[in-house]
Structure 1
Amino acid sequence: MSPADADQGAVPLRRTPRQARSRARLALVLRAAERVLVAEGVEALTTTRVAAEAEVSVGSLYQYLPDRDALIDALAAGYFARIEAAMDDLVRAAATERWEDPVGVLLDAFAGIYRTEHGFRALWFGSGLTERTRAADREHKRRMADGVRRVLLALDMADDDEALAGAGHA
Structure 2
Amino acid sequence: MSTDSRVEVLLKLTDPEVPVPSYQRPGDAGCDLVTTEAAELAPGERAVLPTGVSIALPEGYAAFVHPRSGLAARCGVSLVNAPGTVDAGYRGEIKVIVANLDPREPVRFERFDRIAQLVVQQVEKVRFREVAELPGSERAEGGFGSTGGHAAQQKDYVAVGATGASDLRGQ
Which of the five TM-score ranges fits, normalised by the shorter chain? under 0.3
- TM-score, normalising length: structure 2: 0.22
**If each structure's strand is expressed as a fraction of its own residues, which one has the higher value?**
2
* Bigger helix share: 1
